[in-house]
Amino acid sequence: MPPLPRSIAHLDMDAFFASVELLRYPHLRGQPVVVGGRRALATTEGQEFPCLRDYVGRGVITTATYEARALGVHSGMGLMKAGQLAPDALLLPADFEAYRHYSRLFKATVREIAPHMEDRGIDEIYLDLSALNPDGTPDGARRIAQQLQHAVREATGLSCSVGVAPNKLLAKLCSDLDKPAGITVVTAADLPARIWPLPARRINGIGPKAAARLETLGIASIGELAAADPAWLQGHFGERYGIWLHRAAHGDDERPVVTESEPKSVSRETTFERDLHPRSDKADLSQHFTRLCEQLAADLARKGYLGKTIGLKLRFDNFHTVTRDQTLATPTGDAATIRRAAGECARRVPLERRIRLLGVRVSGLVRPGDIPPHATHTPTQAELFA
Ligand code: DCP
Ligand code: MG
């Protein structure tokens, strides 16, 4: 007998930062509110909070309440542009301390019910509910999702949306289909009717550029992507991404829900606003490269790791992706060392096309205390060959 399909859930908090602000200022409920900008603004006399119309500057919206979204504003939009669409929306500064607190609280609450949890960021998690829903029925999945929503609301006062599906890819897509406070359960049999009509960009992993590229090739929906010849997709998007697109459109995803909190690697990557040329944009690229390595070093320090293997990832304008790595003699957390090693990896890649994405990864992670003391004095391979 084939194994029963898994019950995988993706839970994502609704308008997370803004909803946390509304816990503090409940009288603002029902009003358009956005979170953004760097610091609190001055208010006009008689006003408790500044309005978007009064905003001058280059800040962007971090998130917006659903009332504000109804006026056309969304995450990432410039605050001044948003001010034209929603002049009366109230603007609150971000308070990351508070968001982290509620993030920990909702995750702890969910873990009590569904311990097989993968932390995906400040406001989202994956859950493997298979053991809690042994018959794998949609009704069973829906009941657990309701229980989770209820528990999160009791513990935090916040609402979330849940998608349940046979895998992470579909669960993530589903949690977004009925926001806010939605529950969406799909099975493999629902794919043609419920998933294929959706735009391809709904798939996590198809960004705006890939979606635009698909569109120029005549593919708008997930169903059209599913119907496309995999070899043709590989021709346009490179071998790996082409295969991935094909599998994703067929709702095919075997990735497990990874509970372990010990990461295997730490990485940073960036997709450029415009594709950068390895020669004519060299200075720009180099700056991005250095910044990525600095961010990565800061991530490592924050998480308390050093790593031995430095990996580089480049994606070209034709979506072809290459990776190279280099293993150092001693684990490092140093931005300059990471930069040097990743730079050497770059020299092993033929650079003939424009670059759309640059990524750096550190793996082979260890805790600094785990390294024998004498080892830290050995020069790194990167230093020896610099
Ligand atoms: N966020 C951010 N910058 C962005 C997008 C989001 O800082 N460009 C922050 C603010 C969000 C939080 O991350 O509150 C979670 O992101 P989501 O994409 O889940 O957005 P929301 O939770 O705000 O809304 P939704 O109800 O659509 O999930
Ligand atoms: Mg969210």
What are 73's two structure tokens? 């504003």
Band of residue 375 on the pLDDT scale cut at 50, 70, 90: very low
What DSSP character marks residue 193?
I
pLDDT in tens, 222-231: 999 999 999 9
- In the predicted model, is pLDDT for residue 261 greater than 80? no
* Closest ligand 1 atom to Cα of 123: 15
Q: Give residue for tokens 């909070």.
A: 49
pTM greater than 0.85: no
- Which fold does the domain 196-249 belong to in CATH? DNA polymerase; domain 1 (1.10.150)
In one letter, which amino acid is 175? S
Band of residue 339 on the pLDDT scale cut at 50, 70, 90: very high
91 CA from centroid of ligand 1 (Å): 16
Spatial contact of 320 and 302, defined as CB atoms under 8 Å apart: no
Residues within 5 Å of ion ligand 2, judged at the Cβ atom: 12-13, 16, 123
Band of residue 371 on the pLDDT scale cut at 50, 70, 90: low
Band of residue 41 on the pLDDT scale cut at 50, 70, 90: low
The verdict on whether 154 is a catalytic residue reads no
Spatial contact of 184 and 178, defined as CB atoms under 8 Å apart: yes
Q: Which of 63, 77, 162 has the most ligand 1 atoms within 8 A of CB, as the residue to mutate? A: 63
276 CA from centroid of ligand 2 (Å): 32
Q: Give me the catalytic one of 21, 45, 118, 124.
A: 124
Name which of 232, 238, 201, 202 is nearest 217 in CA terms. 232
Apex 70 CA angle, 65 and 71, nearest 5: 100
Name which of 20, 33, 47 is nearest 86 in CA terms. 33
Q: Residues lining ligand 1, CB < 6 A?
A: 12-17, 62-63, 75-76, 122-123, 179-180
What DSSP character marks residue 191?
I
- For residue 63, give the ligand nearest its CA: 1
Order the strands of the 61-64 sheet from edge to edge: 61-64, 33-36, 90-92
Q: So what's the pLDDT on residue 381?
A: 40
76 CA from centroid of ligand 1 (Å): 9
124 CA from centroid of ligand 1 (Å): 10
119 CA from centroid of ligand 2 (Å): 13
CATH number of 8-14+97-192: 3.30.70.270
Q: So what's the pLDDT on residue 386?
A: 35
Closest residue by CA, ligand 1 atom 21:
15
- For residue 75, give the ligand nearest its CA: 1
- In the predicted model, is pLDDT for residue 374 greater than 70? no
Which stretch of 88-97, 256-265, 282-291 has the lowest confidence by average pLDDT? 256-265
CATH number of 265-384: 3.30.1490.100
Helix, strand, or coil (residue 154): helix
Q: Which helix (H) or strand (E) holds 125?
A: strand 124-128
Name which of 272, 295, 317, 282 is nearest 361 in CA terms. 295
Closest residue by CA, ligand 1 atom 28:
14
* Closest ligand 1 atom to Cα of 76: 8
Spatial contact of 140 and 7, defined as CB atoms under 8 Å apart: yes
Name the average pLDDT for the chain. 92
pLDDT in tens, 136-157: 999 999 999 999 999 999 999 9
Spatial contact of 10 and 126, defined as CB atoms under 8 Å apart: yes
Q: So what's the pLDDT on residue 18?
A: 98
Going from N- to C-terminal start, the domains of the chain cover 8-14+97-192, 21-95, 196-249, 265-384
> Number of C-alpha atoms within 13 angstroms, CB side, residue 123?
21
Spatial contact of 168 and 255, defined as CB atoms under 8 Å apart: yes
- In the predicted model, is pLDDT for residue 109 greater than 90? yes
User: Across 158-172, 261-275, 301-315, which has the greatest mean pLDDT?
Assistant: 158-172
Please report which residue ranges of 192-281 form alpha helices under DSSP H: 208-216, 222-227, 230-237, 239-249
* Closest ligand 1 atom to Cα of 14: 26
- In the predicted model, is pLDDT for residue 376 greater than 50? no
Q: So what's the pLDDT on residue 178?
A: 97
CATH number of 21-95: 3.40.1170.60
Spatial contact of 345 and 312, defined as CB atoms under 8 Å apart: yes
203 CA from centroid of ligand 1 (Å): 17
Q: Which of 14, 61, 122, 123 has the most ligand 1 atoms within 8 A of CB, as the residue to mutate? A: 123
pLDDT in tens, 122-137: 999 999 999 999 999 9
Query: In angstroms, how far is the first alpha carbon of the chain from the final one?
Result: 58
